[in-house]
């Protein structure tokens, strides 16, 4: 079965701190995604990538950077964390194509104090 | 920007009941509609998808899509306590060339023994 892992699973930082969230997929998928999930908003797309070195902007990109170093690894960077970025973050991967299923990781809960 | 709304927000049913979940979307040309299931502390997992008008049945699940009324519903027959989870409706916009998904805010289902 498709496998997407995330680390850390929980993270607490302070306002202005630097945070890096990591995601690895072993599905050989081209596409990878970062979402945030907040009560009342569902899942919202932050950034996505269709291969190593590629980065595309999602629907809520402000305050976030991302980098895709290999086909397997996708990172989300918060360089000056703010309390509004307290959320549950999910990574996902999929094959190419508009009808492809997305496979999700277990999530990282981030708290910015 | 595609908009997805789900109802009800939450639902409590007795074991064995038929469950009906609703989702409305804004673009009749949306390419695909997915239902994801999310258990507490886990990432979403795809349950069933539909691309064409009509219905699709898989085991205890049936999904109905009516593009003219911009509505899709998920029905779970003979519900079990293990079906207790958040159900997310996700729509792939017509303009997307990849598996972009816009999610609704979710319906929380509790099946009580």
- Give 10-residue mean pLDDT values along chain A (113 residues): 89 97 96 94 94 94 97 97 98 89 96 97
State how far the Cα of B71 lies from the Cα of A34, in Å rounded to an integer. Answer: 27
Which residue among B43, B92, B99 places its CB closest to the CB of A90? B43
Q: Find out whether A9 and A106 touch, Cβ atoms under 8 Å.
A: yes
Nearest CA among B37, B35, B11 for reference residue B23: B35
CB-based burial, B43-57: b 16+ in 10 Å, e otherwise: bbeebbbbeeeeeee
In this predicted structure, what is the pLDDT of residue B93?
85
- Average pLDDT, whole number, for chain B? 94
Cross-chain Cβ contact B32/A96 below 8 Å? no
pLDDT score, position A2: 55
Confidence of residue B101 (pLDDT cuts 50, 70, 90): very high
Contact A14, A109 (CB under 8 A): no
Q: Write the DSSP string, B43-109.
A: --EEEEEE-SSEEEEETTEEEEEETTTTEEEEEESS--GGG-EEEEEEEE-TT-SS---EE---EEE
Nearest CB to A97; choose among B99, B102, B104: B99
pLDDT value for A99: 84
| Residue of A34, A102, A106, A109 to mutate for B, most B C-beta atoms under 10 A | A102
Spell out the residues 6+ positions from residue A4 whose beta carbon is closer than 8 angstroms to its own: A23, A24, A25, A27, A91, A92, A93, A103, A104, A105, B43
**What mean pLDDT comes out for the span B55-68?**
96
Q: For the residues B30-54, what does the mean pLDDT come to? A: 94
Distance from CA of A50 to the nearest CA of B (A): 9
- B6-36: per-residue pLDDT in tens? 999 999 999 999 999 999 999 888 888 999 9
pLDDT at residue A97, as a whole number = 80
Contact A42/B at CB under 8 A: yes
The pLDDT score that the predictor gives to residue A111 is 98
pLDDT at A72: 97
Query: Measured between CB atoms, does A100 come within 8 Å of chain B?
Result: yes
pLDDT at B27: 87
């Amino acid at each position: 079965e498709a496998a997407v892992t995330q680390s850390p699973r929980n993270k607490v930082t302070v306002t202005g701190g630097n945070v890096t969230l990591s995601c690895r997929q072993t599905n050989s998928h081209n596409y990878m995604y970062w979402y945030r999930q907040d009560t009342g908003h569902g899942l919202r797309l932050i950034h996505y990538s269709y291969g190593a070195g590629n980065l595309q902007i999602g629907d809520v990109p402000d305050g976030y950077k991302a980098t895709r170093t290999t086909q397997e690894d996708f990172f989300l960077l918060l360089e000056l964390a703010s309390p509004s970025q307290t959320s549950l973050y999910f990574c996902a991967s999929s094959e190419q194509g508009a009808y492809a299923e997305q496979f999700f990781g277990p999530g990282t809960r981030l708290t910015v104090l | 920007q595609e908009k997805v709304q789900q109802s009800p927000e939450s639902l409590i049913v007795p074991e064995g009941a038929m469950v009906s979940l609703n989702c409305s979307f804004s673009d009749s040309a949306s390419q695909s509609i997915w239902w994801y299931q999310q258990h507490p502390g886990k990432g979403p997992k795809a349950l069933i998808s539909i691309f064409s008008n009509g219905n699709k049945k898989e085991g205890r699940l049936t999904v109905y899509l009516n593009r003219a009324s911009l509505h899709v519903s998920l029905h779970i027959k003979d519900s079990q306590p293990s079906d207790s989870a958040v159900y997310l409706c996700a729509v792939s916009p017509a303009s997307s060339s990849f598996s972009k998904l816009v999610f609704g805010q979710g319906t929380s289902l509790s099946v009580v023994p």
